């Protein structure tokens, strides 16, 4: 430095000492500067004071010589001490050169700068708050300083500044938040620790309402929550916990909508539990305010539902979120926007209605009143897209798939009109889900499909949601009449009996596609077919299921599949507890509806001769059963055929056919029943089933022994009377036609097998 330069009012001795390499000499010079500045303060000479500060800043603190910079720093600190309470008038001139030295490459110089700033701030106290942002910016850099002495000095300055902010009521939070939002994304652990500590301090100050600005830096907090340092994560958890307590205390001032999307994007394992906890509280506190963000919430929540016990807390929090969010969807979400706005309008006096306040049990009244209800709309398209994506994803866990199907069912219940617009896109995947490995998933899937097939909204749907070919298809029930007219069910399905609910146009489409799936996936039919059909009988009424499937199978071109499917349906009909009511309906055939049902089933049951006979046994058409068995001599008797006869014999011994076995007591009135059973006996080889049936027939009593007037009256109701509304000769002709088709197909297959190169 040029010692000949004029540095007045600083004396040459002061200048020389400030440039000295020894700290003690620079300290002596600082004491002289302090004395000099005190004199200027006494003289009220602010011009001289500024001149001294300017010399110390430009000629020393910002000098190229390291010892000069050190002298300038200690000199500026001495000026601040001398100024005392008046230092606030010169803070910018004092602080700026010191902060510049924070970036010095010499760690000793950075330490002296930190020490000088500490002295300046200690004297100025609350006067430094207008300069808080530049001080915070400088401190955030020193917090990550590699030198331990510098870091230690910065920590002392940091604590001092925190004390000043805590005891002051003039902190400019609005000016600070943009800086906080910028610096919170630092990846340096020390910088993160520094920022978290400041947020904790500001949040604890009663006069500073940091909650209003939480959306500005909440994302950054969750970023820090995923830090690899356990200590930093712990600090961040404490801060987030304090904010959550504050949110619960003052929900009316919380900007839920602005923070909802922030939560859903954080799915890192380290922060997922906290994110789910916050989300759960948001849904419970804000209620319908979060509905526009429901698709994003579900994206974050649904995968967590399949977690194992290692993440039990996260799974439980996600489950609570899912349940609470589902409860927010109400029938009013199915209304058009205009209808919704009309209903959400307040009464004439402008006072919110009580119903509006009671919309959700945990809804905060003040939140609702402050929200624009007309703007709160369910993001149905987004939700359906998320649900559909999870169904398509093969890696989706079982509990997540179940939750997805529960959501779809809930939406079809609460918002059927809007949901039917999505049915065509969802329908194929719902059918595919029937092949799921989990019975519980299949059961939930069937509930959704059943709701689609039976919902009144599907009957009034005019958006072309069904294929034209399916929507125009009619179900004609052969042999069935009602009031002199054939019973027809189609795009507008009519009731087949007083107990049968109407189905919409999707019902028949569902039945067609279900049978197609069984045809393409024989393993599905073998492993889950009975389970699926039984559940559908509970959900959609057994008569509807059997009526529609019988009609579809009547037109089935794959005769082998038709025979297999009829055998499956027949087994279900004869053995399942779910079919008890339908069996009773068919047992006597005393009504037009029951006769129509029998005729419909019979036509399709003809694909399987043994199943047809069992249907006749069930409906007590013993003479017709005997006539059918007489025709078995003209059929191709295979091992599979004999095995089916064997199973029928076993069924005759089951509780379902108790009434049939009792009817063997009335030999005179049931001769065709006995003849039919003997016909089966003659068909069987000398097997266990043969022995079983032979033993049963040997127990038939002698007619002469049973001829008593009283006993004949007792067995009056077991007589075989002709059934009304049924043309049995036409049914026999239909049986012959169906069996001829089966025989022709078998011959064609045999021909292809013998002559593989021959084209038929």
**Count: domains in the chain:** 2
pLDDT value, residue 526: 94
pLDDT value, residue 144: 86
* 66: in domain: yes
The percent of residues above 90 in pLDDT, for the chain, comes to 67
Q: Copy the structure tokens of residue 4.
A: 């000949």
Q: Is the pLDDT of residue 602 over 90?
A: yes
Among the candidates 144, 171, 198, a domain finishes at 171
Among the candidates 171, 202, 231, a domain finishes at 171
pLDDT value, residue 481: 37
Most confidently modeled of 27-31, 335-339, 366-370?
27-31
Q: Percentage helix, strand, coil, to 5, in the chain? A: 75, 0, 25
Under the banding of pLDDT at 50, 70 and 90, the label for residue 386 is very high
pLDDT value, residue 633: 85
Long-range contacts of 416-420 (CB under 8 A, 24+ apart): 416/334, 416/455, 416/456, 416/457, 416/458, 417/334, 417/457, 418/333, 418/334, 418/380, 419/380, 419/384, 419/457, 420/452, 420/455, 420/457, 420/458, 420/461, 420/463, 420/465
By residue range, what is the domain housing residue 648?
541-548+558-702+723-752
Tens of pLDDT, residues 481-508: 333 343 333 333 333 333 445 678 889 9
SS3 482: strand
Q: How far is CA 556 from the centre of its chain?
A: 39
* 708: in domain: no
Q: Is the pLDDT of residue 235 over 50?
A: yes
pLDDT value, residue 501: 52
Q: Is the pLDDT of residue 529 over 60?
A: yes
**What end-to-end distance do the CA atoms of the chain give, in Å?**
111
* 614: in domain: yes
CA distance readout (Å), 446 to 431, 461, 504, 569, 670: 9, 21, 16, 18, 43
Per-residue pLDDT, averaged over 29-40, amounts to 94
Q: Is the pLDDT of residue 376 over 50?
A: yes
Contact status, residue 746 vs residue 636, Cβ threshold 8 Å: yes
Per-residue pLDDT, averaged over 584-595, amounts to 89
CA torsion 721-724-727-731 (nearest 10°) is: -70
* 466: in domain: no
Between CA 87 and CA 121 the distance in angstroms is 9
Per-residue pLDDT, averaged over 58-65, amounts to 92
Between CA 421 and CA 426 the distance in angstroms is 10
Q: Is the pLDDT of residue 545 over 50?
A: yes
CA distance readout (Å), 139 to 64, 81, 91, 471, 475: 23, 21, 17, 73, 81
pLDDT value, residue 702: 80
* 3: in domain: yes
Under the banding of pLDDT at 50, 70 and 90, the label for residue 8 is confident
Average pLDDT, the chain: 84
Beta bridge partners of residue 482, listed in sequence order: 485
Between CA 348 and CA 363 the distance in angstroms is 24
Per-residue pLDDT, averaged over 104-129, amounts to 94
pLDDT value, residue 462: 38
Residue corresponding to tokens 């949110």: 247
Q: Quickly list DSSP for 384-445.
A: HHHHHHHHH-TT--HHHHHHHHHHHHHHHHHSHHHHTTSHHHHHHHHHHGGG-S-HHHHHHH
pLDDT value, residue 718: 43
pLDDT value, residue 635: 86
Q: Copy the structure tokens of residue 312.
A: 């039990």
pLDDT value, residue 614: 95
pLDDT value, residue 201: 94
Under the banding of pLDDT at 50, 70 and 90, the label for residue 474 is very low
Per-residue pLDDT, averaged over 49-72, amounts to 93
Q: Is the pLDDT of residue 480 over 60?
A: no
Contacts of 301 (CB under 8 A, 6+ apart): 276, 279, 318, 321, 322, 325
Q: Is the pLDDT of residue 35 over 80?
A: yes
Q: Is the pLDDT of residue 225 over 70?
A: yes
Q: Copy the structure tokens of residue 693.
A: 């049936």
Q: Domain of 125: which CATH number? A: 1.25.10.10
Contact status, residue 305 vs residue 319, Cβ threshold 8 Å: yes
* 575: in domain: yes
* 391: in domain: no
Q: Is the pLDDT of residue 152 over 60?
A: yes
pTM for the full predicted model? 0.78
pLDDT value, residue 123: 95
* 249: in domain: no
Sign of CA dihedral 693, 699, 704, 710: negative
What are the helix and strand counts (H, E) for the chain? Answer: 40, 2
Q: Is the pLDDT of residue 469 over 50?
A: no
Lowest mean pLDDT among 78-92, 425-439, 693-707: 693-707
Per-residue pLDDT, averaged over 687-700, amounts to 91
Q: Is the pLDDT of residue 283 over 90?
A: yes
Per-residue pLDDT, averaged over 167-194, amounts to 92
**Higher per-residue confidence, 180 vs 257:** 180
């Amino acid at each position: 430095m040029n010692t000949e330069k004029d540095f007045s009012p600083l004396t040459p001795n002061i200048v020389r000492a400030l440039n000295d390499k020894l700290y003690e000499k620079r300290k002596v010079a600082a004491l002289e500067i302090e004395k000099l500045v005190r004199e200027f303060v006494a003289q009220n000479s602010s011009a001289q004071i500024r001149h001294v500060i300017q010399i110390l800043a430009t000629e020393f603190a910002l000098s190229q010589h390291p010892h000069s910079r050190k002298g300038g720093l200690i000199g500026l600190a001495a000026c601040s001490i001398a100024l005392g309470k008046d230092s606030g008038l010169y803070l910018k001139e004092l602080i700026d050169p010191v902060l510049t030295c924070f970036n010095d490459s010499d760690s000793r110089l950075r330490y002296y700068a930190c020490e000088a700033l500490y002295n300046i701030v200690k004297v100025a106290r609350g006067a430094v708050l207008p300069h808080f942002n530049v001080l915070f910016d400088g401190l955030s850099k020193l917090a990550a300083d590699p030198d331990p002495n510098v870091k230690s000095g910065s920590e002392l300055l940091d604590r001092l500044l925190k004390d000043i902010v805590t005891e002051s009521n003039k902190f400019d939070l609005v000016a600070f938040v943009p800086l906080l939002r910028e610096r919170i994304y630092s990846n340096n652990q020390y910088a993160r620790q520094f920022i978290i500590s400041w947020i904790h301090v500001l949040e604890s100050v009663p006069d500073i309402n940091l909650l209003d600005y939480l959306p500005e830096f909440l994302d950054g907090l969750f970023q820090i929550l995923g830090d690899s340092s356990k200590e930093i994560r712990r600090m961040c958890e404490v801060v987030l916990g304090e904010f959550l307590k504050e949110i619960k205390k003052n929900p009316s001032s919380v900007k839920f909508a602005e923070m909802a999307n922030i939560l859903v994007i954080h799915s890192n394992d380290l922060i997922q539990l906290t994110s789910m906890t916050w989300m759960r509280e948001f849904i419970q506190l804000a209620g319908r305010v979060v509905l526009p963000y429901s698709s994003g919430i579900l994206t974050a929540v649904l995968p967590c539902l399949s977690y194992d016990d290692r993440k039990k807390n996260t799974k439980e929090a996600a489950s609570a979120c899912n349940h609470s969010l589902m409860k927010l969807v109400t029938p009013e979400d199915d209304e058009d926007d205009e209808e919704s706005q009309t209903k959400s309008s307040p009464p004439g006096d402008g006072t919110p209605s009580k119903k509006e306040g009671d919309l959700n049990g945990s809804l905060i009244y003040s939140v609702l009143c402050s929200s624009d209800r007309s703007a709160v709309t369910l993001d149905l398209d987004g939700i359906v897209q998320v649900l559909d994506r999870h169904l398509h994803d093969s890696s989706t866990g079982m509990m997540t798939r179940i939750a997805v199907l529960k959501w779809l069912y809930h939406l079809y219940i609460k918002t059927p009109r809007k949901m039917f617009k999505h049915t065509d896109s969802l329908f194929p995947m719902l059918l595919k889900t029937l092949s799921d490995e989990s019975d519980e998933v299949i059961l939930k899937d069937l509930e959704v499909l059943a709701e689609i097939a039976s919902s009144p909204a599907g009957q009034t749907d005019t958006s072309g949601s069904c294929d034209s070919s399916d929507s125009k298809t009619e179900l004609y029930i052969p042999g069935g009449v009602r009031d002199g007219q054939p019973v027809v069910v189609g795009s507008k399905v009519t009731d087949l009996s007083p107990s049968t609910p109407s189905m919409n146009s999707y019902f028949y489409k569902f039945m067609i596609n279900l049978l197609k799936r069984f045809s393409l996936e024989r393993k599905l039919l073998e492993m889950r077919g009975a389970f699926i059909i039984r559940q559908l009988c509970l959900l959609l009424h057994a008569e509807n299921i059997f009526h529609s499937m019988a009609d579809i199978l009547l037109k089935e071109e794959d005769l082998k599949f038709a025979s297999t499917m009829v055998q499956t349906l027949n087994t279900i009909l004869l053995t399942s507890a779910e079919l008890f009511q339908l069996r009773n309906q068919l047992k006597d055939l005393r009504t037009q509806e029951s006769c129509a049902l029998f005729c419909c089933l019979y036509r399709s049951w003809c694909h399987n001769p043994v199943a047809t006979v069992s249907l006749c046994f069930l409906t007590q058409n013993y003479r017709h059963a005997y006539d059918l068995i007489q025709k078995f001599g003209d059929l191709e008797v295979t091992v599979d055929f004999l095995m089916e006869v064997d199973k029928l014999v076993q069924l005759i011994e089951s509780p379902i056919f108790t009434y049939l076995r009792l009817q063997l007591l009335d030999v005179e009135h049931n001769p065709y029943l006995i003849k039919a059973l003997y016909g089966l006996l003659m068909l069987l080889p000398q097997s266990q089933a043969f022995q079983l049936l032979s033993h049963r027939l040997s127990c038939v009593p002698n007619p002469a022994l049973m001829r008593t007037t009283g006993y004949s009256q007792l067995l009056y109701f077991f007589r075989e009377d002709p059934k009304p509304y049924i043309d049995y000769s036409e049914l026999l002709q239909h049986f012959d036609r169906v069996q001829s088709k089966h025989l022709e197909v078998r011959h064609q297959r045999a021909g292809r097998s013998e002559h593989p190169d021959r084209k038929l």
